[in-house]
Amino acid sequence: MRQFAIVGLGSLGVRMLEKLAEVTDEIVILDRDAEVIERYKDLAVSAFVVDAIDDAALRRVIPEGLDAAVVDVGSNIEAAILVTNSLKKLGVREIIVKAESEERGEVFKLVGATRVVYPDREAASRIVPLLVSPSLFSFMPIGTNLVLAEVRIPEKYVGMTLIEANLRQRHAINVIALREEASREYRYFNADYRIQAEDILLVAGKERDVIEFSGVEERSARGDLKEILAGLLKGKGRGKGRAKG
């Protein structure tokens, strides 16, 4: 059975512990706060009050051959670096580290992290599309530029079969399953099924393609800002010329 360690019970550490505990008890938890350890010790096979930057102490409590560890020691980047590097030297196969910025993430990868999690950025990536499109019901990035989403079918495709709608060709998205409003359950679709107005599609595709399919056209805020700045600078230039005259 796979074994795990949660080093630091911050918000990510606690959430990972709770989800892992649903499927296994082979979890070791470490935190320097005794009260936190007391609160969550029943979810783990072993719980230790340890300052994780103490390399010797870490070696005493981390079992050999550990499959994966999650590092969430707060905003202390020095502690996160030391812990990540210690876990790498202990031979932990997968090391997941919470980071607050791309710069910190790169540092963690250099010292041994196999995966870096950016909670704020990942939360924004999931939530913002739902805010801008009433036709999106869930939005989950699953790769560098690939997303899985639930989308209400656009009105112009109502009454068509999925073959007639030809969404892969028209929108570069792949339909995985279809959910009828009445049943509330996803199912594989029949070739002759005609799409209803309230049907929801589970689709996969590039982020931009999925968002556009949901009825939202992306705009480049950076481009707009450049135009505004260019106009302001141009206006200042004309102003200076008149002053000199």
> How many independent structural domains does the chain possess?
2
CA–CA separation, 243 and 245 (whole Å): 5
Q: Tell me, what's the pLDDT at 145?
A: 80
What DSSP string describes 57-119? HHHHHSPTT--EEEE--TT-HHHHHHHHHHHHHTT-SEEEEE-SSHHHHHHHHHTT-SEEE-H
pLDDT digits (tens, 9 = 90+) for 179-198: 876 667 787 777 888 988 88
158 and 202 housed in the same domain: yes
41 and 132 housed in the same domain: no
Q: Tell me, what's the pLDDT at 230?
A: 56
pLDDT digits (tens, 9 = 90+) for 99-133: 888 899 999 999 999 999 888 777 777 777 777 78
The CATH code of the domain that includes 93 is 3.40.50.720
Sign of CA dihedral 221, 149, 96, 21: positive
CA–CA separation, 73 and 177 (whole Å): 40
Q: Tell me, what's the pLDDT at 128?
A: 74
202 and 150 housed in the same domain: yes
User: Is residue 171 assigned to a domain?
Assistant: yes
Read off the pLDDT of each residue in 74-80 and give the average, rounded to a whole number.
89
> Rounded to 10 degrees, what is the CA torsion of 83, 84, 90, 91?
160
Better-predicted residue by pLDDT, 88 or 182: 88
The CATH code of the domain that includes 155 is 3.30.70.1450
112 and 138 housed in the same domain: no
pLDDT digits (tens, 9 = 90+) for 195-239: 888 889 999 999 889 988 988 765 544 444 445 445 555 554 444
63 and 160 housed in the same domain: no
Q: How many CA atoms lie within 13 A of 130 on its CB side?
A: 13
101 and 136 housed in the same domain: no
User: Is residue 236 assigned to a domain?
Assistant: no
Provide the greatest CA pair distance for the chain: 82
199 and 184 housed in the same domain: yes
147 and 207 housed in the same domain: yes
157 and 102 housed in the same domain: no
CA–CA separation, 137 and 151 (whole Å): 6
What type of residue is 7? Answer: V
Read off the pLDDT of each residue in 71-95 and give the average, rounded to a whole number.
92
| Range in 134-148, 170-184, 221-235 the model is least confident about | 221-235
Q: Express as a percent the part of the chain with pLDDT over 90.
A: 45
Read off the pLDDT of each residue in 46-53 and give the average, rounded to a whole number.
92
Better-predicted residue by pLDDT, 25 or 173: 173
Cross-strand bridge partners of residue 81: none
CA–CA separation, 9 and 29 (whole Å): 8
55 and 101 housed in the same domain: yes
Q: Tell me, what's the pLDDT at 94?
A: 93
Looking at 88, 117, 146, the residue that finishes a domain is 117
User: Which residues constitute the domain of residue 167?
Assistant: 122-213
Better-predicted residue by pLDDT, 160 or 64: 160
Mean pLDDT of the chain: 84
